[in-house]
Structure 1
Amino acid sequence: MVAVYFAIGDSFTEGVGDEVGDGATRGWADLVAAGLAASRGEPIGYANLAVRGRLLGPIVTEQLDAALALEPRPTLLTLNGGGNDMLRRHIAVDDLVALTERAVRRATGAGVRVVLISGADPSQRLPFGNVVRRRGELLTAGIAELAATHGTAFVDVFHDAEIRRPGYWSPDRLHLGPAGHRRAADLVLAGIGEGPAPAAGPAGAPSTRGVVTELRYYREHVLPWVGRRLRGRSSGDDRHGKHLTWVSVPPPERRRA
């Protein structure tokens, strides 16, 4: 294993919405790992400590601690976070940017290449979507400025117009679906020079939002989320990252063999 890639974050990086059976998730970070192995023609080491529901604080402390403690140390680290913070009633975007900056300083100081990634924009179909969009714009702008200041790669998934289309999202409207994770992976690979810029996908069927559809959506997705919040619970409670130590991701030729 020559390259070693570690992903930290929340449900976006865990891969929620891209389930592959028995509740296991794949997601864009897994696809990036496979893309790196294919691009380089050799196995890469891959670890992913992202957990759904995590706030940015634990991501840039506990998850980053684990990444830097691994042997060998990662050569590439992707960092995304803040989406769950933005769903809280009171947040300060400047504090989220400051947390991210400390993580960038620490990782780059350890010789790790950092790639900052903004999450996709779910606001068009969410309750209180205007609030989510406004906060997302502020956070994305702050992270972009931070990346420019530190010379850190930044992949802006938030402003990708293609991925905002309904066909890229899961039924909960908050997480990307399989096509969305594939699109995000292609954006990341292109952003770090490991793949071509992704083309637009097929138009897909227009979404329908009749009364029955909306009632079902609120019953199946919104009300359970509200219930967890009232109980002080998170969807990621008692969960751990899916790859806590290095796993080997082979290039396609070896996988076929």
Structure 2
Amino acid sequence: MTFSKYVALGDSFTEGVGDADPTRPNGVRGWADRFAEGLAARAAVEGRPFGYANLAIRGRKLPAIIDEQVDAGLALGPDLVSIHGGGNDVLRPKVDIDALAASYDEAIARITATGAHVVMFTIADPGLNGVIKVIRGRTAIFNEWVREIAENRGATVVDMWRIRGWKVAEVMDDDRLHLNAVGHQAIAIAALDALGVPHALEPIPPADLPVLSARAQRAADLAWARTHLAPWVKRRVTGRSSGDGVEPKRPVLMPIG
């Protein structure tokens, strides 16, 4: 498959949170940028133009992604759309997963009706992460809906649930919720491979991690709770989002490089 106009939709995962790069819009790079770079390189080899837009906003739940980003993305006339959502939804204990899936299916149908190819994602297995493993059951249900929707609509799935062998400390940012550069690069490679696009991306070797004593690990956990967990809880209580005031980092199709 060849693509010339790629639009990325979603939440912090697709915006690139955790993969810091102060030279880029919103100060992040992320798998979608890396994926787009691979697509652009292939387009250059084949003598085709290539444009990339990224409308993803951190903190967005799936209904907001659908309402705010799908029509705006389709207005750009893409031939390839990636969409990731649901992670911020399944964190909520009262989420209606069946209703969420129905709205997701309708959105994917609207995208594919334009002729654009869609790349979807399952959510990574939270059982690997002690911070959020309590949501493993409802994540698995949501993921099965993603697979069914993709099968029915002809979309490509990057099945992160089935990616094994990762060590959380190697692929996650300090907040223990978002991928770091190692993880984002791995997803970019997985997405290109899922589409069968030849590329030159290589895995990033993880940094050497210190072995912590039990006391040092407790201190690290407390520091994480103060720095990352407490602000997250405060936002939930006050009804705020990490994406409040954040604008899409690439609102129109532009060359990448």
Shift of 1:218: 0.5
Conserved 8 A contact 2:182-2:204 = no
Residue 173 of structure 1: aligned partner: 176
Specify the alignment match of 2:229 in structure 1: 222
Q: What pairs with 1:122-161 in structure 2 (closer than 5 Å)?
A: 122-127=126-131, 129-161=132-164
What residue number does 1:59 align with? 65
Give the TM-score taking structure 2 as reference length: 0.88
- Report whether the alignment pairs 1:9 with 2:15: no
Question: Matched residue of 1:114: which SS?
Answer: strand
More moved, 160-169 vs 235-244 = 160-169
- Per the alignment, in what secondary structure is the counterpart of residue 94 of structure 1? helix
One-letter amino acid of the counterpart of residue 119, structure 1: I
Q: Percent identity?
A: 40
CA contact (8 A) 1:13 1:29 kept: yes
Q: Which residue of 2 aligns with 1:254?
A: none
Q: Post-superposition shift, 1:207?
A: 6.3
Matched residue type, 2:155:
T
CA distance in 1, matches of 2:149, 2:61: 19
Aligned Cα RMSD in Å?
Answer: 2.2
Contact 2:54 2:249 in 1 (8 A): yes
Q: Which residue identity is paired with 1:234?
A: S
For 2:161, what is the secondary structure of its paired residue? coil
Instruction: Give 1:1-257 correspondences, 5 Å limit.
Output: 3-21=4-22, 24-41=27-44, 42-70=48-76, 73-127=77-131, 129-195=132-198, 204-205=208-209, 208=212, 210-250=217-257
AA matched with 1:104 = I
TM-score by length of 1: 0.88
Counterpart contact for 2:171–2:206, Cα < 8 Å:
no
Deviations 1:120-143 (A, max 9, x none): 33443343x332222221111110
Please say if residues 170 and 206 of structure 2, whose CA atoms lie closer than 8 Å, have aligned partners that are also in contact.
Answer: no
Q: CA deviation at 1:43?
A: 4.0
Q: Which runs of 5+ in 2 are unaligned?
A: none
Deviations 1:206-242 (A, max 9, x none): 6647210111010011001001111110000111110
8 A Cα contact 1:186 1:195, kept in partner:
no
Structure 1 window deviating more from structure 2 (211-220 vs 132-141): it is 132-141
In structure 1, the gaps of 5 or more residues are 251-257
- Which residue identity lines up with residue 57 of structure 2 in the other structure? V
Are the aligned partners of 1:5 and 1:74 in contact in 2 as well (CA < 8 Å)? yes
Q: Report how many residues are paired.
A: 246
Contact 2:6 2:51 in 1 (8 A): yes
Structure 2 contact 124–162 (Cα < 8 Å) conserved: yes
Find the aligned partners of 1:188 and 1:207 in 2 and give their Cα distance.
32
